[in-house]
Amino acid sequence: MKRAVIIGKDVSKGARSPILWNAAFNALDIDAEMTTVDIEHESDAIEFLDSETTKPDFIGGAVAAPLKEVVANYFADDNGSFIEPKNCFFNSEGKFTAANTDTLALLESISSVKKDLDIQRVCILGTGGVSKSLCYQLSNQNKNFDVDVYGRNQEISGLFTDFGMNFKDYGSLNLDIGSYDVLINCTSIGKDGNNEDSILSTSQLSLINKEALLFDVNYINSPSKLLRDASSLSLNCIDGSRMNLMQAVIGFCLANDLVGKEDVVHQHMLEAIKEI
């Protein structure tokens, strides 16, 4: 039997990945199982990875906080100025590597409703970890988008310009907001849909092109106020629910050599969620 794990702090107390991965293993008749391994400290994580990645029955798995940066550095194979956090690691052609499937799932969620050919200008709100990883991935995939990143901290603007993005201050947002094909809220503002916080005002939302897509990566108690207000204006909008599931789907496919079978795995995991 092949073995997969999710590692991180207190993952044994409710991590969802084992339910999703094991449902897919069973549905696809794969002789494997994912289990939880509670690890909090960097030294313990490195010791675990040193040991497990040498075993032939071990296929990798998922990574939870606070180990995403630890895993990223452990498997880093370049000396770039930015190493994005990794939430998945797996054996690829005899060598373990890691990926950020959150960002891959974010891009997949957009492409599921809007084709690349219909996207020219992209607005990214926020400069935190999600935004950095997204811009890094956009740069690596050579997406032919004109991307504006809005933030307040000019000190980190250089990182985004290195990725080929335009760094702008929120004060100029109203001037361009109507020209974007996709707008992505990468901030935690309005993270819980039960509160009344929103990154954009109703007046700003009214300036958005009716053909544009508004994507709020948040999904807890969705819809957020941002999406509620957008829907009231008949804007096209989605939350991070699909992204949250697709990150597990993509990670599973990478670890089990099933790239290209994401739709099948997605269906099995979706059915598993309904039973939780």
pLDDT digits over 66-82, tens only?
999 999 999 997 666 68
Indicate yes or no: pTM above 0.85. yes
Q: 147-194 pLDDT, tens per residue?
A: 999 999 888 899 999 999 999 999 999 999 999 999 999 999 999 999
Q: Which two tokens stand for residue 176?
A: 């361009």
Three-state DSSP at 183 gives strand
**Model confidence band, residue 206 (pLDDT cutoffs 50, 70, 90):** very high
Enumerate the domain spans of the chain.
2-99+243-274, 104-239
CATH 3.40.50.720 fits 104-239, yes or no: yes
Strand duo 88-92 + 58-63: pairing:
antiparallel
Distance of alpha carbon 197 from alpha carbon 228, whole angstroms:
11
Distance of alpha carbon 271 from alpha carbon 264, whole angstroms:
11
Identical fold between 2-99+243-274 and 104-239:
yes
**Mean pLDDT taken over the chain:** 95
Distance of alpha carbon 227 from alpha carbon 116, whole angstroms:
22
Distance of alpha carbon 122 from alpha carbon 139, whole angstroms:
13
* CATH architecture of the domain covering 2-99+243-274: 3-Layer(aba) Sandwich (3.40)
Q: What angle do CA 106, 110, 113 make, to 5 degrees?
A: 145
pLDDT of residue 82: 82
